């Protein structure tokens, strides 16, 4: 590497990269300005552009700043110092105390130019602080375990302080709403609601259900796709909880006869915020409220972690790398289609491209992407937004869902005129998606010329790694499920759910994606052009080696990721 003279405007990691010739002066200034504009660190912005990997940056930083490099995979959690530093400070500066010896504390960080972090920790602990460099992605995972803002340490703070609940609308509350807010700003109710929301985030729930009945009031979380009852608060507070939720979600608290949709943001720290989508529904005994937890980090964790097999992942990434065409994702509601699409968009989200999305509603917010919410009342539907996108010099367009002939026709046209289009449909599997488009009235030759690849998906519960136990399944049951004769050997072991404290006795923790990834090749082109049936397309894709959803699920069973019972349930054919 050849050192070069750099501008005084460049600081920290950007300056080091330019000095060593890994970035040009212009690239360094652009990166630094974009990071400041988006409110994130230069390191976070650099990793998001995928110019360098986390391990490459860590190795470079260790050598450049003269600090030791440490692999967090080798860290024993039992030696972590307990409670010397405020978890909020760790989350703010993205640092992790990894050991303490006498008056000396060793802290891991991914950006050694962040001297303020070391100074703040030294000031708070009165210890000598020594830094080691680690990989940023691994650091993030350890912070989630040790002291992230979603840990129990934050839950304890609700006894003494309120969280910052931001409105998604920038308008101030009107006088009537403000008065109502004061009336129901009952401290116990406010803190109880905050605790329910934090508990839901902490447990990995996707939804919170507040359900009033004649004599009871219950709260349920959706965990790994299933609903679990969490609490039965007093029936008397149902109106106060409903009013509090509606106020912070910018809904009309006086309207209880019709459904309403709103949105709110729970700000946990400077670097961590969780969005909630709120829906109210008048029922016989009051308003049922469902809060969907929208954590944008799910879209930035990396597409390779969603559960695609290596060959499936290569097909998908090759397809989205093409300059134009259509990529479709299909599956039922709650199958993870949005996360899959946004994981693709996260790869494509580079400074040199213009990305626009239209959704109903926008569930994941990403910097650098122009996102539009459907507003039917104002006349802004999918088709209208798509027409506007085509006048906005787009490179990549994402349509939340193709619901009708007009939206589908515009999307197909965009895919044929030099744009990459990503979208979803509701069909049972990948082959059925092609016939669904044709049945909408889109000409078969346009479908054949535009669609590059279709991914059908389901989400299955992942076996808890702490308590899963081996199980012997009779050969007849394996064959009946779809295994081949060649699979009936001792080269793999099936597991079943047991239950422990870690997984709250369910036997499952988290979910794993099950995918059917079908490229649209020449033979399938010919079938589309002669309006072949879904069955004929499915048979051709099988001849080309495409796994159907059941086969893909059985592969997860062989890998020990989920149980046969779970695969049979989510791929019921």
Domains: count for the chain: 3
pLDDT of res. 492: 92
- Pick from 41, 44, 107, 101: nearest CA to 70: 107
CA triple 393-396-401, angle to 5 deg: 115
Which residues, at least 6 apart from 342, have a Cβ–Cβ distance to it below 8 Å? Answer: 299, 364, 366
**What HEC string does 306-338 produce?**
CCCCHHHHHHHHHHHCCCCEEEEEECCCCCCHH
Q: Which CATH number belongs to the domain containing residue 193 in this structure?
A: 3.30.450.90
Give the C-alpha distances (Å, rounded to integers) separating 198 from 44, 157, 201, 541: 25, 11, 5, 45
Instruction: Tell me the residue length of the chain.
Output: 573
Q: Which CATH number belongs to the domain containing residue 374 in this structure?
A: 3.40.50.300
Distance CA 450, CA 464 (A): 41
Domain match, 55 and 113 both? yes
Domain match, 213 and 193 both? yes
The neighbour count for residue 103, using CB atoms within 10 Å, is 9
Residue 534 placed within a domain: yes
Domain match, 302 and 433 both? yes
Parallel, antiparallel, or unpaired for β 451-463 and 325-330? parallel
pLDDT of res. 171: 39
In three-state secondary structure terms, 563 is coil
Residue 377 placed within a domain: yes
Residue 226 placed within a domain: yes
Please list, residue by residue across 157-186, b when 16 or more beta carbons sit within 10 angstroms of its beta carbon and e when fewer do.
ebeeeebebebeeeeeeeeebeebeeebee
Residue 504 placed within a domain: no
Which residue range(s) make up the domain with 275?
156-294
pLDDT tens figures, 104-147: 888 888 888 878 888 888 877 778 888 888 888 888 878 766 64
Domain match, 449 and 336 both? yes
CB 273 within 8 A of CB 266: yes
- Pick from 363, 361, 401, 365: nearest CA to 383: 401
Q: Which helix (H) or strand (E) holds 208?
A: strand 207-212
Domain match, 375 and 312 both? yes
Parallel, antiparallel, or unpaired for β 420-425 and 396-399? parallel
Q: Which helix (H) or strand (E) holds 411?
A: helix 405-416
pLDDT of res. 186: 54
Q: Which long-range contacts (CB under 8 A, 24 or more apart) does 275-280 make?
A: 275/168, 275/363, 275/365, 276/197, 276/249, 277/361, 277/363, 278/245, 278/246, 278/249, 278/251, 280/242, 280/246, 280/251
Domain match, 211 and 355 both? no
Distance between first and last Cα of the chain: 58
Specify which residues 165 forms β-bridges with: 266
Locate 36 and state its tokens: 């400041």
**What HEC string does 238-272 produce?**
HHHHHHHHHHHCCCCCCCCCCCEEEEEEEECCCCC
pLDDT of res. 506: 85
pLDDT of res. 500: 85
Q: Which CATH number belongs to the domain containing residue 112 in this structure?
A: 3.30.300.160
Secondary structure E strands in 43-127: 95-101, 104-109
pLDDT of res. 161: 39
Look-up of token digits 């109106």: 239
pLDDT of res. 395: 94
pLDDT of res. 178: 42
Residues (pLDDT < 70) of the chain are 1-10, 37-40, 78-79, 82-84, 86-88, 144-187, 269-271, 296-301, 573
Domain match, 258 and 284 both? yes
Domain match, 439 and 383 both? yes
pLDDT tens figures, 451-467: 999 999 999 999 998 89
pLDDT of res. 37: 67
Domain match, 443 and 307 both? yes
In degrees and rounded to multiples of 5, residue 63 shows phi and psi of -70, -45
Distance CA 564, CA 560 (A): 10
Residue 464 placed within a domain: no
Locate 572 and state its tokens: 């019921």
Look-up of token digits 């199980």: 471
Please list, residue by residue across 25-53, b when 16 or more beta carbons sit within 10 angstroms of its beta carbon and e when fewer do.
eebbbebbebbeeeebbbbbbbbbeebbe
Look-up of token digits 């447990």: 203
Look-up of token digits 């026709």: 409
Compute the radius of gyration of the chain from its Cα atoms: 26
């Amino acid at each position: 590497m050849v050192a070069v003279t750099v501008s005084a405007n460049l600081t920290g990691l950007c300056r080091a990269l330019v000095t060593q010739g890994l970035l040009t002066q212009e690239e360094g200034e652009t990166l630094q300005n974009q990071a400041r504009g988006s409110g994130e660190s230069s390191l976070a912005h650099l990793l998001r552009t995928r110019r360098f990997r986390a391990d490459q940056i860590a190795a470079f930083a260790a050598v450049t700043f003269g600090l030791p490099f440490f692999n967090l995979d080798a860290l024993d959690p039992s030696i972590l110092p307990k409670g010397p530093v405020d978890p909020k400070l760790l989350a703010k500066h993205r640092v992790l105390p990894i050991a303490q010896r006498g008056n000396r504390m060793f802290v891991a960080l991914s950006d050694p130019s962040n001297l303020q972090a070391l100074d703040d920790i030294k000031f708070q602990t009165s210890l000598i602080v020594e830094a080691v460099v680690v990989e940023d992605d691994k650091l993030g995972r350890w912070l989630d375990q040790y002291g992230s803002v979603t840990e129990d340490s934050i839950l304890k703070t609700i006894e003494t302080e309120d969280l910052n609940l931001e409105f998604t609308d920038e308008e101030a509350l009107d006088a009537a709403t403000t008065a109502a807010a004061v009336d129901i700003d009952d401290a116990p109710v406010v803190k109880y609601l905050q605790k329910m929301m934090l508990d839901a985030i902490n447990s990995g729930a996707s939804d919170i259900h507040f359900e009033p009945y004649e004599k009871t009031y219950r709260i349920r979380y959706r965990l790994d796709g299933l609903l679990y009852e969490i609490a039965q608060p007093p029936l008397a507070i149902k109106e106060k909880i409903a009013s509090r939720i509606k106020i912070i979600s910018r809904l009309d608290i006086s309207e209880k006869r019709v459904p309403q949709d709103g949105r709110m943001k729970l700000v946990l720290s400077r670097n961590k915020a969780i969005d909630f989508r709120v829906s109210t529904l008048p029922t016989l005994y009051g308003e049922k409220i469902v809060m969907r937890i929208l954590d944008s980090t799910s879209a930035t964790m990396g597409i390779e972690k969603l559960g695609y097999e290596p060959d499936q992942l290569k097909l998908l990434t090759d397809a989205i790398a093409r300059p134009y065409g259509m990529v479709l994702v299909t599956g039922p509601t709650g199958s993870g289609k949005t996360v899959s699409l946004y994981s693709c968009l996260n790869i494509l989200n580079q400074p040199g491209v213009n990305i626009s999305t239209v959704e109903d509603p926008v569930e994941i917010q990403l910097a650098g992407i122009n996102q539009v919410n459907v507003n039917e009342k104002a006349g802004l539907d999918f088709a209208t937004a798509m027409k506007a996108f085509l006048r906005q010099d787009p490179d990549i367009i994402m349509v939340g869902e193709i619901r009708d002939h007009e939206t589908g026709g515009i999307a197909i046209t965009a895919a044929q005129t030099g744009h990459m289009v990503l979208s979803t449909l509701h069909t049972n599997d990948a082959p059925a998606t092609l016939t669904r488009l044709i049945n909408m009235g889109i000409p078969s030759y346009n479908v054949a010329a535009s669609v590059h690849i279709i991914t059908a998906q389901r989400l299955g519960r992942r076996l808890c790694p702490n308590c899963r136990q081996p199980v012997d399944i009779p050969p007849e049951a394996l064959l009946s499920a779809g295994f081949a004769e060649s699979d009936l050997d001792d080269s793999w072991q099936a597991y079943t759910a047991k239950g422990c404290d870690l997984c709250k006795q369910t036997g499952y923790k988290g979910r794993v994606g099950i995918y059917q990834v079908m490229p649209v090749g020449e033979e399938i082109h010919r079938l589309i052009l002669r309006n072949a049936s879904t069955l004929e397309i499915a048979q051709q894709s099988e001849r080309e080696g495409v796994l159907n959803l059941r086969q893909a699920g059985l592969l997860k069973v062989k890998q020990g990721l989920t149980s046969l019972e779970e695969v049979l349930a989510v791929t019921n054919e």
